[in-house]
Amino acid sequence: MSIVVNQPRILVNELPTTQQQNGHLINFNLSLLGEAVIQFSHTLELFDYASYLIADMRSKGNNTFANERYMAWGYIAARNGALTIYDFGRFAETARNRLHDCPDIESRTDLKLIKAAFKQFETKFPRWVAVRHSASHVGDINLTTRAQGEHLSSTRYTGSGIDIGPGNLISGNLEDRVYTAAWKGETHTYELSAASLEVLRSVADSVYRAFDAQTGVHYWP
């Protein structure tokens, strides 16, 4: 899948001096938003490649090698995907939230389109913050038995190859394309798939179109 990213560029030097610093911050986060889409695309490619190699090795009867190396590649991709979705959300949030400090930009931005984009993002990734925290704090979660206790599942969870009762710790389980992890007693998942990539691309597209009034150009073909 080809991802073309060329975000709108706000002419910061034409803004009042008091708005220029935040104008630069908006520009930077719009750029990072597109880069996150590309990052997720490459992460998905790594996962798909690892999955192909696992299937190929198993078809040749070499399960040990497949389990040790290529499954690790898939897990690396799954964790990176969780972090990338989080970064994407933060970049979009910053671009949106700093509009309040740049009324000259805000007045020419389609705020309804940005709101719709966030709704689409959070519908697909409702626990994007918790998934990232679990993926990036495995060491902290397992630092002590007390720390583990804070993240034990509070209810029975069934799904994505898991059937586990309350009081257990789910720490980065990967089944097919679904990454599952517990954070603060709740179980959270996300899917590393082409469908997830398309949502990120669509959300970025909407955010970029919301800023089109800055330049009059739509950059996503």
At 11 the pLDDT is 85
170: which residues sit within 8 A by CB, 6+ positions away?
153, 157, 162, 164, 180, 181, 182, 187
CA distance 144 to 140: 8
Q: Which amino acid is at 7?
A: Q
**Quick check: 219 and 6 in contact, CB under 8 A?**
yes
pLDDT of residue 219: 38
The CA-based dihedral angle spanning residues 49, 41, 43, 45, taken in that order and rounded to the nearest 10 degrees: 0
Note the pLDDT of residue 163: 60
CA distance 72 to 94: 33
First to last CA, the chain: 13
Per domain, the residue ranges of the chain are: 13-214
Q: What is the pLDDT of residue 1?
A: 44
Q: In the prediction, which pLDDT does 221 show?
A: 35
Distance CA 171, CA 64 (A): 23
Helix axes 71-97, 17-59, angle to 10 degrees: 160
Q: What is the pLDDT of residue 10?
A: 83
The confidence score (pLDDT) of residue 176 equals 86
Q: What's this model's pTM, rounded to 2 decimal places?
A: 0.85
Average pLDDT per 10 consecutive residues for the chain, totaling 221 residues: 62 89 93 94 96 87 77 93 96 95 92 96 93 77 68 61 62 82 78 96 93 53 35
Amino acid at 167: G
Cβ neighbours of 138 (radius 10 Å):
13
Predicted pLDDT at 200:
96
Q: What is the DSSP letter of 143?
A: S
Q: Shortest CA distance to 218 belongs to which of 110, 115, 112, 124?
A: 110
